[in-house]
Amino acid sequence: MAGKAQFRFSFGPWNIHEGADVFGPAVRKPVQFAQKLKLYKKLGFDAVQFHDDDAVASVDVPHERMIKEAGEMRRMLDGEGLAAEFVAPRLWEHPLTIDGGYTSNDPKARQYALERSKKTIDIARVLGTSNIVLWPAREGVYVNESKDHRLAAERFVQAVNAMLDYDKAIRVLGEMKPNEPMDQSYLPTTGHFLSICYLASDPARVGVLIETAHALLAGLDPAVEMAFALFHRKLWSVHLNDQNGLKFDEDRIFGAVNLKRAFDQVLVLYDNDYGAGGEYVGLDVKALRTQSDELATRHLSGSREIFLQLLEVVKKIDRRRLEELRASRNYEDLELFIIKSLMGKA
Ligand code: XUL
Ligand code: MN
């Protein structure tokens, strides 16, 4: 039966930020990590998503120090009654990975990326999660002839295998995005990463996180993408948000641009029992630069509210009517039925 799961929510600490963008500096005061953690439960969230260096000050320090800091973070989480959902290696800021990590032409960059990914796994172990998320930000090209694309795909599989081999308990989740910061990202869509899953040494431990905005930037429908990954039993996390057209990754409030599109995602997640295996409803939303300090968590609580309110709409949908309209191929009335349901007029 669909919809057995109670949805639980998560987000990453980078979703509470100072509002700097590529054209201007910070406009809000920084919020200390401990302060952010205190906000989670108040805002209705149960789990934290981490980059490696969200969990520890730096990974480029002696190993014992890194593990000790991860232990301190674990105690902070336990103290707040929060779980760690995943840890992601932040491979896009280090000078060595200027032109990518796993697929870089430079063997030193590839080695750094792999070592850092293994440190991420060590941190995840301490935090009590087996989920490692890969957003391969700089794996790709600005100039098409700068890399051997076939070799890049091979190197990607090798990197995933090295992680699976390093710890037999972890799962690797690809979060794919077609561009930004690169012009052309390698493995730009969920479908590309799914093909990597099946080439990996242990396909059962490789899956995906789908972000709404990333699917939209690739010209794809997020609900259809999610359904496809659910069919493969590989949708292990989501980053819900919204996106206005094909531009930079906007990370808007869930449903803010296209409410019907948000409804479709909730429908697919509910109908396919997303969450029954312990998956969280993750958000990746950014406060607008215009927001004051006091209002810079509203995008998080608001996105959660919209999800839960859309869930109510989903539960009330007259399924017999839906099936009749499908069977009679009356898709315009079907569309009107959904729009009216969203307006409370069906
Ligand atoms: C980038 C993005 C990242 C990942 C985590 O577009 O979505 O924040 O979610 O590395
Ligand atoms: Mn994301």
Q: Can you give 20-75 as a three-state secondary structure string? A: CECCECCCCCCCCHHHHHHHHHHHCCCEEEEEHHHHCCCCCCCHHHHHHHHHHHHH
pLDDT of residue 27: 98
Alpha carbons within 13 A on the beta-carbon side of 204: 2
Q: For residue 177, which atom of ligand 1 is closest to its CA? A: 6
Cα separation, 255 vs 303, whole angstroms:
8
Q: Which residue among 51, 135, 238 has the greatest number of ligand 1 atoms within 8 angstroms of its CB, and so is best to mutate? A: 135
At residue 305, what are phi and psi to the nearest 5 degrees? -60, -45
Measured in Å, residue 309 CA sits from the centre of ligand 1 at 25
CA angle 322, 325, 331 (to 5 degrees): 110
- Write down the pTM of the prediction: 0.98
Give me the pLDDT at residue 44, please. 98
Q: Pick the atom of ligand 1 nearest to 211's CA.
A: 7
| Alpha carbon distance 188, 175 (integer Å) | 9
Q: Which residues pair with 242 in a beta bridge?
A: 252
Q: What is the mean pLDDT of residues 76-98?
A: 98
249 three-state secondary structure: coil
CA–centroid distance, 85 to ligand 2, in Å, is 13
Query: How close is the Cα of 216 to the center of ligand 1, in Å?
Result: 14
Q: Which residues line ligand 1 (CB under 6 A)?
A: 88, 135, 175, 177, 211, 239, 249, 284
Q: Which residues 6+ apart lie within 8 Å of 205 measured at CB? A: 164, 170, 171, 172
The rounded Å distance from CA 135 to ligand 1 centre is: 6
Active-site residue (options: 51, 94, 214, 239):
51
How far apart are alpha carbons 163 and 241 in whole angstroms? 29
- Which of 180, 284, 285, 286 to mutate to test ligand 1, by most ligand atoms within 8 A of the CB atom? 284
pLDDT of residue 6: 87
- Provide the pLDDT for residue 94: 97
Q: Is 202 a catalytic residue?
A: no
- Considering the chain, what is the average pLDDT of its residues? 97
Tokens coding 26: 């910070």
Dump pLDDT digits (tens) for 210-224: 999 999 999 999 999
Percentage of the chain lying above the pLDDT 70 cut: 99
| 136 within 8 A of 102, measured Cβ to Cβ | yes
pLDDT at 3: 63
Ligand nearest to the CA of 15: 1
The whole-number average pLDDT for the span 192-197 is: 97
Question: What is the DSSP secondary-structure string of 64-108?
Answer: HHHHHHHHHHHHHHHHHT-EEEEEE---SSSGGGTT-STT-S-HH
Q: Are 52 and 123 in contact (CB under 8 A)?
A: yes
Question: Out of 52, 54, 242, 284, which one is annotated catalytic?
Answer: 54
How many helices (H) and strands (E) in the chain? 12, 10
CA distance 306 to 29: 27
Residue 1 has pLDDT above 60, yes or no: no
Return the HEC string of 280-309: CEEECCCCCCCCCHHHCCHHHHHHHHHHHH
Note the ligand closest to the C-alpha atom of 86. Answer: 1
Distance from C-alpha of 326 to C-alpha of 318, rounded to nearest angstrom:
13
At residue 4, the pLDDT reads 63
Mean local confidence (pLDDT), 306-322:
98
State yes or no: is 60 an active-site residue.
no
Report which bound ligand comes closest to the CA of 185: 1
CA-closest candidate to residue 215, choices 197, 196, 237, 190: 190
pLDDT tens string 124-182: 999 999 999 999 999 999 999 999 999 999 999 999 999 999 999 999 999 999 999 99
